[in-house]
A and B are shown apart, each in its own frame.
Chain A
Amino acid sequence: MSYAHEITRDTSGNQVGSDGMVSVSLIGNGKMFKRRAIKGAGSAAAQELSWLVTELNGVRVYQNGLNVIVTTEDLYP
C-alpha cells in the first residue's frame, strides 16, 4: 500500500506531479500536494488513494487517474 503521486520540479523550476500515467504541471505561484487517504482503514477492504491537488489563485485541480475536477472547494477522497 504505497501508491502515491510523485511531485518534482522541471528544469524551469515549475512543479510537476505525476502518477506515472498523467502529469500535471503548475506554472506560477501556486501550490501542489498529495491528498492521500486510507479508505476502509481497520478492515480487510482497506484501499489507499492518492489525489494530486494543484491550487492556483484559489482554484484547485484534483487529479485522480483519468478523472479531473476543477473547483474552489476543499474535497476529500
Chain B
Amino acid sequence: MAATVQISEKNGAGGTLTDKTSGTIRFKNADNATVDTANPMVKPGAGTDWSFEKWVRFNVSGGTYTEITNIKAYCDGSVSFGTGVTVYAKAVTTFATPAEATSATGYADISTYTSGSSLSLGAGPYTSTGEKGDHLVMMMGVGTTASGGLTPTETLTIAWDEI
C-alpha cells in the first residue's frame, strides 16, 4: 500500500484546504483558491505588482504507509512565466492568513530550486494522515516589462521518500 497524497492550497484565516494536486494554482490579487480571471495581476506603471501569498501543503489524505521523510519542492530549472514575471518561494512552519506580499525579502526565485538543489519542506519522519511538513509559500511579482494575458503554467514537483 502507499500513502494517498494531496497537494493542498490553504486560504482564509482558518486555512481552508482545497485539493490542488491536479488543479491549477492561480496567482492573483485575492486570497482564494478559485481559478478565474477576477482579481488579476496587473502590469504596473512602475515597481512591482505582488500577488497574495499561496500557502500550499503536503497532505496525506489516506492510504497506508509506515513513514514519510524528506519532503522537497523543486522546479525543472527553466521556469518561464515570461519576461517580467517571477514566482518566489519559501518554507514556513506555522500557517498565517495569506496576505498580499510587499517584497521578495525572505523568498528565493522558485526557478533556483531544482532537483539537485531543492527546497526542503521537512525531513520527517512523518506518520499517519493529515498535513505534514512545512508550508510551501509562493507569491508572484509582476514587473513593468511583463506582457499581458495568462502566463504559461510551470512544472512544480513535490517529492518525498516513503516506506
Cross-interface CB contact of A46 among B21, B63, B115, B163, cutoff 8 Å: B21
Bits for B135-163, please: 1 = Cβ < 8 Å to A, else 0.
00000000000000000011111111111
Q: Is A39 touching B155 in the complex (CB atoms < 8 A)?
A: yes
Contacts of B161 in A (CB 8 A): 33-36, 53
With both chains docked as a complex, state the minimum distance between the C-beta of A60 and any C-beta of chain B, in angstroms: 12
Q: How far is the CA of A50 from the CA of B159 in the complex (A)?
A: 9
Contacts of B43 in A (CB 8 A): none
Bits for B18-43, please: 1 = Cβ < 8 Å to A, else 0.
00111111000000000000000000
Interface size class of A (residues with CB under 8 A): 20 to 34
With both chains docked as a complex, state the minimum distance between the C-beta of B121 and any C-beta of chain A, in angstroms: 12
Bits for A19-52, please: 1 = Cβ < 8 Å to B, else 0.
0000000000000111111111111111000100
**A65 interfacial by beta-carbon distance below 8 Å:** no
A-B contact count (CB 8 A): 92
Contacts of A61 in B (CB 8 A): none
Contacts of B25 in A (CB 8 A): 42-43
Q: Is A41 touching B20 in the complex (CB atoms < 8 A)?
A: yes
With both chains docked as a complex, state the minimum distance between the C-beta of B157 and any C-beta of chain A, in angstroms: 5
Q: How far is the CA of A50 from the CA of B65 in the complex (A)?
A: 14
Q: Is A77 touching B157 in the complex (CB atoms < 8 A)?
A: yes
Q: How far is the CA of A29 from the CA of B155 in the complex (A)?
A: 37
**A66 interfacial by beta-carbon distance below 8 Å:** no
Closest to A50 in B: B2
Closest to B160 in A: A36
- Enumerate 10 A-B pairs (CB-CB under 8 Å) in ascending A order: A6-B1, A35-B159, A36-B2, A36-B159, A36-B160, A36-B161, A40-B156, A42-B21, A50-B2, A77-B159
Residues of B within 8 A of A (CB): 1-2, 4-5, 7, 9, 20-25, 56, 63, 72, 74, 115-116, 118, 153-163
